[in-house]
Amino acid sequence: MNTHLAQKDIYSVSRLNSEARLLLESRFCIIWVEGEISNLVKPGSGHLYFSLKDPSAQIRCAMFRNRNRLLAFTPENGQKVLIQAKISLYEARGDFQLIAQSIEPAGEGALRQAFEALKLTLSNEGLFDPAHKKPLPPLPERVGIITSPTGAAVKDILTVLQRRFPPLGVTIYPTLVQGDDAAIAIIKAIKLANQQKTCDLLILARGGGSIEDLWAFNNEQLAREIFKSKLPIVTGIGHEIDFTIADLVADVRAPTPSVAAETISPDQNEILSRLELNFLRLQKTLVNKLTQQKTQMNWLSERLAQQHPSSRLEQHSQRIDELAIRLKQRFSMQLTLRTTVLLKTVADLKRNNPVSTISSYLKQTSNLASRLKSAMSKNLESSRYSLGILSRTLDSVSPLATLDRGYSILSSCKNRSLISKTAQVKPGDEIAARVSDGNIICTVSKTVK
């Protein structure tokens, strides 16, 4: 074998296709591709094989049975679709292909993406929050219906309202429910109903249709107008499987217009049954009350006969006489007792006349005053004598007496401290000499020990 060729890494076809497939699948994530179906094949395996093309190119596609069972429609040749797929390569033939995960009609797919994007935006702003949902009145007097005046929806609603609760008033706000101008027309109807304030709530309804037919109810301005409405809004749009942005923002979503009418209207049969039951309860309560009142009246009549005013007056008169007698007896007893006490008190006062006692006390007071005066004079003389002795003793030991004998007391003029030693002064210091009749200021010339 040629040595040069042996050194090269030579791929087999299988290896090349396998690595190419792995490279494609790892390089590209799930993608969306739009095109027209052609060469559609539906073998017995249940898989789908077709080409997806546009005016300039085409690509082979495969959709396996576990995926195509979930399709909501039947793909056909010539149909424009939007597929969600991963890129791969069929190794056996080396065909570049797409493995489809889901398929939607192209127009519906775009609308679905727009629907999901708007749904996410409004949800993040809180327009779907249950906390903002307004409660429906339990017994409305008038309902406003915003719908096409010629559609089946308004007929269904009126039929249900007539059957369930004929007294409920109805105001129809005719509007477009399909097309480019439908959303603006519905917004105007909601604003008008809120301005008039004649209705208790509103029904926004239309019959079923495709996503394109119901697209007016996925309008952002309409959603915000429903959110701002002061009147509660119930939606009944399309069929049970249909969901619009208006349904999500509305206070209540009904699956159909008929169910919306049933949701907002009370059932007259139920109300009549309830009224009849309440009437029977009221009648029974009144009969029981009358029976109780009659029984109580008979009892009161018997008590009144037993307690007639004449017998009561006789009893009170007898009681008054009895109390008068007892009062007279009690007063007489109290008067006798008080007289006896008074006489005894007068006798005691006479027996204990204070005049002699006062005279005795006056004599005793005079005697004590004389004795006090004599004792004070003696005590004063004794104190004077003692004071003289103490004065003479004090003079004998007083420093002032020492000064009279020629001595003096020296102190520093600077800090007033007493000087008792020569070490306490130095030449030039001023000192004060205290003598018997004053102070002498001196200057130290020298000290001698």
- Do 24 and 79 fall within a single domain? yes
Q: Pick from 270, 305, 326: which residue ends a domain?
A: 270
Per-residue pLDDT, 251 = 95
Helix (H, G, I), strand (E, B) or coil at 171: strand
Q: Decide if 88 is inside a domain.
A: yes
Per-residue pLDDT, 62 = 92
- Do 154 and 261 fall within a single domain? yes
Q: Decide if 89 is inside a domain.
A: yes
Q: Decide if 237 is inside a domain.
A: yes
Burial class (CB in 10 A: 0-12, 13-18, 19+), 116: exposed
What is the CATH classification number for the domain harbouring 155? 3.40.50.2300
Single out the residue of 273, 269, 255, 277 nearest to residue 165, CA to CA: 269
Amino acid at 410: L
Structure tokens at 249: 């923002």
**This model's pTM is above 0.85:** no
Q: Decide if 84 is inside a domain.
A: yes
Q: Decide if 226 is inside a domain.
A: yes
- Do 107 and 149 fall within a single domain? no
- Do 74 and 185 fall within a single domain? no
Domains contained in the chain, number? 3
Per-residue pLDDT, 155 = 93
Structure tokens at 237: 């749009």
Query: Which residues contact residue 31 at a Cβ distance below 8 angstroms, ignoring those fewer than 6 apart?
Result: 84, 85, 86, 87
- Do 203 and 108 fall within a single domain? no
Per-residue pLDDT, 330 = 87
Per-residue pLDDT, 3 = 56
Per-residue pLDDT, 109 = 61
Q: Decide if 348 is inside a domain.
A: no
Q: Pick from 270, 299, 321: which residue ends a domain?
A: 270
Task: Give the chain's largest Cα–Cα span.
Answer: 174
Measured from the Cβ of residue 3, the count of other Cβ atoms closer than 10 Å reads 6
* In contact, 151 and 195? CB cutoff 8 Å: no
Per-residue pLDDT, 241 = 74
Domain that holds residue 431: 403-443
Q: Pick from 270, 292, 315: which residue ends a domain?
A: 270
Q: Decide if 375 is inside a domain.
A: no
Q: Decide if 307 is inside a domain.
A: no
Measured from the Cβ of residue 425, the count of other Cβ atoms closer than 10 Å reads 15
- Do 145 and 100 fall within a single domain? no
- Do 266 and 173 fall within a single domain? yes
Single out the residue of 220, 218, 225 nearest to residue 247, CA to CA: 218
Distance (Å, whole) CA 140 – CA 152: 24
pLDDT along the chain (449 residues), means of 10: 62 76 74 89 90 90 88 83 86 84 75 82 92 92 94 92 92 92 94 95 89 87 95 90 88 93 88 85 88 86 69 70 84 86 81 73 84 86 85 73 75 82 83 82 83
- Do 254 and 167 fall within a single domain? yes
Helix (H, G, I), strand (E, B) or coil at 231: coil
- Do 160 and 256 fall within a single domain? yes
What is the CATH classification number for the domain harbouring 86? 2.40.50.140
Per-residue pLDDT, 437 = 80
- Do 61 and 145 fall within a single domain? no
Bridge partners (DSSP) of residue 435 are 438
Per-residue pLDDT, 381 = 85
- Do 259 and 146 fall within a single domain? yes
- Do 93 and 49 fall within a single domain? yes
